[in-house]
Amino acid sequence: MKSLPPPDSLRATHRNPYDVAILGGGPAGTAAARMLSLWGHRVLLLTRPPRGPALAESLTPSCGKLLAQLGVLDAMNRAGFVRSTGHTVKWGNSDVRVESFGHGELGWQLLSSQLDRVLLRQAQLAGVKVHRHAKVRRVMLDSDGHWRTSYEERGTLRHASSRWVIDCTGRAGLMSRAGSGRVSAGPRTMAILGLWERRPDWQLANDSHTCVESYPGGWVWSVPVSRVRRQITVMLDPSRTDVAEGRRLALTYRDELARTSMIGAMTERARAIGVPWARDASSYTRETQTRARLLVAGDAASFVDPLSSFGVKKALASGWLSAVVVHSVLSDANIEGPALALFSARERAMVAGLRRQQGVLAQEAAIDGAAEFWGGRLGPNELVQPGEPNLTALRDDTEVVAAFQAIRGAATLRLQEATGVVRKALPVVEGHQVALRDHLVVPAFPDGIRYLRNVNVVTLAALAPRHTDVPSLYLAYCREAGDAPIADLLGALAVLVAKGILRFA
């Protein structure tokens, strides 16, 4: 292997830095690269072919809005992927249920390599400079404030300079190799994957469906990658299986599938293609996600057990947000501190939401004392973002319910701002920029609140004292802040009263 040149030699080779160097060509990296290039920045993307077989991915229709925002929805629809109409699920003690997406919507079933190929092409079309065979060797911050990235490409050592770096290199990323960024790890999880073929078809209620089943030792999911082939993945705790004792992987895989009913039956009349393989699927969160002009995004920042189909969506959203943050700071250096704080908070909030969902599914699966796999996944969610409004708790809050009834029953609406309400400018995303906007700070929301569902509560709190009935308040709000469901406005108004932001005059 070639040795790296000394820093002085490295520094002398860079006269025209990129605005951003993005490391990793998965969903997060390609999303960030495409958007930054479309917004007028010089972007370098360094990636290399993935090692090992591709993973099957299931993208639900909820990804469509984000794909459209990234400008890649048409390309996804033209790519010829299997289109899914829903899921077939056997979870906990429940019977098999067929769940269809609403309103005729369709998801996408595909291999990760196919998705990467489409997204990389769309990044290139947006003007991104893509190197597909680049192995990053070192990244360092130089004295002039630029990042210096050294990478090997087809046996040649190359160097690039950039104002920013976004690390999207996944589980074994830049921050891991650098030994920086403390990691909070979740319960250990191993994924054992295999490819199966069944002709003429799988004889399911709908062959396009992702099939998901829990059992005491873990859970299994089956994703179609063609009309006759499916990738079937067993998720288990490696410390509770014979894998940890060196038993053959294929035998463990077959034994675990035999413990399932729905998916186990699917494989009885199917043919295994090749041999199964394993990979680490343990959840983790990297607590340091921002440094001086460096962001860690996508799976490099965090990974949550894929108990839902939101892994790719989370990566795309993380990549998009990293692009917004970098674009904002390149446009206005004064926003750097708030923008980085926003990025870290949003990343933690995404993880918190997925872990809450994971906890609910774990509780449903841990029936009849099935704690073999699920017992360690039932603990409280330690990553709930402080101050994040819990809409379910607010809806069931007795004070909020009482305020809602009082508002509905009042002949006239006479409200005024309560004492002690503080307005504090905090970062928000507007379009593709980070901006500082007022939030309301009270003891119930110490980190500030600006939106509840679709309602801007800062605007609502300012308008409410000027109106004596709900219809006129609603019309005034829609004129100033845009349309919102009246039920959401009434709910937000009740929260403002119950939590000490507004009070009855």
Whether residues 441 and 371 fall in one domain: no
Whether residues 16 and 112 fall in one domain: yes
Share of the chain above pLDDT 90, in %: 69
Question: Partners of 272 in the beta sheet?
Answer: 196
Residue 239's pLDDT band (boundaries 50, 70, 90)? confident
Residue 415, pLDDT above cutoff 90: yes
* Domain presence at residue 277: no
pLDDT at res. 176? 56
Share of the chain above pLDDT 70, in %: 87
Whether residues 365 and 446 fall in one domain: no
pLDDT at res. 15? 62
DSSP letters of 67-81? HHHTT-HHHHHHTTP
Tokens standing for 316? 């795309």
Whether residues 345 and 447 fall in one domain: no
Question: Partners of 273 in the beta sheet?
Answer: 195
pLDDT at res. 333? 95
pLDDT at res. 13? 44
228, 200 Cβ separation under 8 angstroms: yes
Whether residues 168 and 302 fall in one domain: yes
pLDDT at res. 445? 95
Whether residues 39 and 172 fall in one domain: yes
* Domain presence at residue 358: yes
Residue whose tokens read 């947000």: 321
Whether residues 468 and 360 fall in one domain: no
Tokens standing for 21? 């160097």
pTM exceeds 0.75 for this model: yes
Domain end (from 324, 355, 377): 377
φ/ψ (deg, to 5) at 163: -75, -35
Tell me the residue range of the domain where 447 lies.
391-504
Domain end (from 347, 377, 407): 377
The gap between the terminal CA atoms of the chain, to the nearest Å, is: 76
pLDDT at res. 50? 86
Q: What is the pLDDT of residues 167-183, one digit of tens each?
A: 999 886 676 555 555 56
Whether residues 48 and 164 fall in one domain: yes
* Domain presence at residue 440: yes
Residue 56, pLDDT above cutoff 90: yes
Residue 188's pLDDT band (boundaries 50, 70, 90)? confident
- Nearest to residue 127, comparing CAs of 37, 22, 45? 37
Residue whose tokens read 């360690």: 376
296, 178 Cβ separation under 8 angstroms: no
Helix (H, G, I), strand (E, B) or coil at 238: helix
pLDDT at res. 285? 82
pLDDT at res. 108? 97
Whether residues 360 and 338 fall in one domain: yes
Domain end (from 317, 350, 377): 377
- Nearest to residue 192, comparing CAs of 226, 162, 152, 232? 232
Residues belonging to the chain: 505
* Domain presence at residue 267: no
Residue 233's pLDDT band (boundaries 50, 70, 90)? very high
Q: What is the pLDDT of residues 77-106, one digit of tens each?
A: 999 999 999 999 999 888 999 999 988 899
Mean pLDDT of 309-328: 93
Q: What is the pLDDT of residues 254-291, one digit of tens each?
A: 999 999 999 999 998 899 999 999 999 888 888 767 77
> Residue 446 CB: number of other CB atoms within 10 A?
11
More confident site: 373 or 483: 483
Whether residues 30 and 122 fall in one domain: yes
* Domain presence at residue 498: yes
* Domain presence at residue 418: yes
Q: 30: domain CATH number?
A: 3.50.50.60
Whether residues 12 and 132 fall in one domain: yes
Residue 402, pLDDT above cutoff 60: yes
- Total structural domains within the chain: 2
For the chain, the maximum distance between any two Cα atoms, rounded to a whole number of angstroms, is 81
* Domain presence at residue 261: no
171, 280 Cβ separation under 8 angstroms: yes
Whether residues 418 and 371 fall in one domain: no
pLDDT at res. 4? 40
pLDDT at res. 406? 96
The mean pLDDT value of the chain amounts to 88
More confident site: 50 or 194: 194
